[in-house]
A and B are shown apart, each in its own frame.
Chain A
Amino acid sequence: MKYFLSIVGCVLLLSACASAEKIVMYDEQSDKAREIKQQLEKTKEVEKANVVEIDDEILVAVQTKPLNSFKERKTAKKLQDKLEEKWPNYDILVSSDFKLYWETSKLIAEKDRQRVSEKVKELKKLAKEES
């Protein structure tokens, strides 16, 4: 039993460490998404991120490294300012909220672009919610 548990533990540990892609894009062909990915890779506080770029909406959900989580909102704000400077005509939201990260992770596999667009709008509205 102990032997079995130790093997299961090792497999779980290894599989958790070997997550393939840390910064995931919805539309891999898009130049903008790729540029955003490069920008995210340069930011050393960011551990994982989802980039959803559809029509004129950009939603970036970032998760920071544990020690940087105290200033995760500042990191997101800085990234947002940079992206807004680059593409002023786009509706951009960079968020460090776990809810947005969770929902965008589900969106990455979605094929229907219309649904993705609707969901992105919905999430942006949700992120503004205060109460």
Chain B
Amino acid sequence: MKQQQYKTIEQQITPATPYVLNAFKAFVVGGLICVIGQAIAFFYMIFFDFTEKTVGNPTVATMIFISMILTGFGLYRKLGQFAGAGSAVPVTGFGNAVISAAIEHKTEGLVLGVGSNMFKLAGSVIVFGTVSAFFVALIKTLLVMMGVLQW
């Protein structure tokens, strides 16, 4: 069998990926996660002394806590299978990436297992985020110093 033949047969057999359905599922589930996040933000603003400016931190912490519990019980995996990017893109997906790696490598010990493998997937995100934030802040500081922008 030649390579070309194999390719055509493979393409015939492979089921078509339901892109539209996947995008729809991701849209709905991702939107639902954001609605829950907004509800938690309102909860903190109404019952505690947080303003819109300061409510971000406790909301994110709560969302990650919820995703931690769901990951521990193996429920986030099912959600991820159903929704794909819808559950991976919000901050809960980031929490899931850290926590599931930590659980997976627990048997190898706390330092060499959990410690060194926890940030396997999320480490690059953290490094990229920190470095890009540093550069954006640097550019803004320079622009403010030159008088183009204001804080």
Are the CB atoms of A131 and B45 closer together than 8 Å?
A: no
Main secondary structure of the interface of A (DSSP, over half): helix
Q: Contact residue range for chain A?
A: 10 to 19
* Chain B, range 24-73, C-beta contacts under 8 Å to A: 42, 45-46, 49-55
Are the CB atoms of A126 and B52 closer together than 8 Å?
A: no
Are the CB atoms of A129 and B45 closer together than 8 Å?
A: no
- Give A130 to B45 CA distance when docked, in angstroms: 14
Cβ of A90 < 8 Å from any Cβ of B?
no
Residue of A nearest to B51 (CB): A99
Are the CB atoms of B54 and A98 closer together than 8 Å?
A: no
Are the CB atoms of B45 and A102 closer together than 8 Å?
A: yes
Listed residue (B42, B51, B55) with the most chain A CB atoms within 10 angstroms of its CB: B51
Number of chain B residues close to chain A: CB under 8 A: 10
What string of 1s and 0s marks CB contacts (under 8 Å) between A95-131 and chain B? 0011110100000000000000000000000110111
Residues of B within 8 A of A100 (CB): 51
Are the CB atoms of A129 and B46 closer together than 8 Å?
A: no
A98-B49 CB under 8 A given contacts A129-B54, A130-B54, A131-B54? no
Are the CB atoms of B51 and A127 closer together than 8 Å?
A: yes
**Distance of A7 from chain B, by nearest CB (Å):** 26
- Give A126 to B53 CA distance when docked, in angstroms: 10
- Give A100 to B52 CA distance when docked, in angstroms: 9
User: B residues engaging A (CB < 8 A)?
Assistant: 42, 45-46, 49-55
Top 3 closest pairs, chain A to chain B, by CB: A99-B51, A97-B52, A99-B45
25 contacts across the A-B interface (CB closer than 8 A): A97-B51, A97-B52, A97-B53, A98-B42, A98-B45, A98-B51, A98-B52, A99-B45, A99-B49, A99-B50, A99-B51, A99-B52, A99-B55, A100-B51, A102-B45, A102-B46, A126-B49, A126-B51, A127-B51, A129-B51, A129-B53, A129-B54, A130-B53, A130-B54, A131-B54
